[in-house]
Amino acid sequence: MNKNSVVIITGANSGMGKATAIELAKTGAHIVMVCRNQTRGEAALKEVREKTGNEQVTLMLCDLGSQESIRSFCATFKEKYQRLDVLINNAGVILPGRHETTDGFELQFGVNHLGHFLLTNLLLDLMTSSTPARIIVVSSGAHKIGKIHFDDINLTKNYTLWRAYAQSKLANILFTYELARRLEGTGITVNCLHPGAVATSMGINRESGFGTFITRLLKPFFQTPEKGAETIVFLATSSDVSEVSGKYFYQKEEIRSSNRSHDEKLAKNLWIKSEEWTGIN
């Protein structure tokens, strides 16, 4: 990574996203912090610039829960930048209670998987012309208990927080592996990771404040966002993984994900359905 490299980090205003932005900004690269909220995004942007002295860090707004917003962001990004070297799909949501995206999908599946599926596909042409390039997907060990509920993808009947979150995290890995197969030989690598249990604001409903007490209670047992970001930074920068693709990492080491996540038929089915759900041809 050098001063001409362009990096996108989704969910960059807090937690691991912000920690990743700080570390990668130290390389002097162009860092595009993608955030949903302008006020929080601007505060994070100011902090990253102050801590790194990198004025090539910028903020762009995108709501991954809105396919219209994603399409608008990608069009604007392509007007501003002629290349994209690293795409870090970091943004994630886990909220108590069932919520929906603008497009009517269960929120965790809609943001964590479909939002990044659409974003990545819309930026692939730019990455292809920027090779070698890297795509990094932040998943979770929760994928091990996940299933893809094709008969009720939005979990309208049997919703639980962990059922929804685990489904979205399994989808992240299935997407990674299928995309890696499709991009084999192109010069674009695709890898995913489990960052470990990290103390972030992901479990907090900002409107109600639900989850704040639980987060504070468990914080001493969790890693810092900086620690959680180490594997992301490793996958974005290390020459050790420059030609590694379609793998799952934890603590900067390649490990095996669940048997279900290696089901190629399942991954292909999810890809085809995700194309339908996002309108990708």
Q: What is the pLDDT of residues 224-243, one digit of tens each?
A: 777 878 999 999 999 999 99
Residue type for position 235: L
Q: What does the alpha-carbon distance between residue 233 and residue 264 come to, in Å, rounded to a whole number?
A: 28
Which of 10, 14, 42, 8 lies closest to 202 in space, CA to CA? 14
Residues 6+ apart with CB under 8 A from 260: 146, 147, 170, 266
Active-site residue flag, 165:
yes
Q: Model-level pTM? A: 0.91
Ranges under pLDDT 50 in the chain? 198-215, 217-221
Residue type for position 185: G
Residue ranges of domains in the chain: 6-278
Per this entry, what is the length of the chain?
Answer: 281
Question: Annotated catalytic residue: which of 159, 165, 177, 248?
Answer: 165
DSSP reduced 3-state for 226: helix
Cα–Cα distance list, 252 to 71, 138, 152, 194, 278 (Å): 32, 13, 35, 10, 32
Identify the architecture of domain 6-278 in CATH: 3-Layer(aba) Sandwich (3.40)
Q: What does the alpha-carbon distance between residue 33 and residue 56 come to, in Å, rounded to a whole number?
A: 11
Radius of gyration of the chain (CA): 17
pLDDT of residue 211: 43
pLDDT of residue 222: 56
- Phi, psi (rounded to 5 degrees) for 249: -120, 150
Report the b/e string of 44-76 with b at 16+ CB within 10 A: bbeebbeebebebbebbebbbbbbebbbebbee
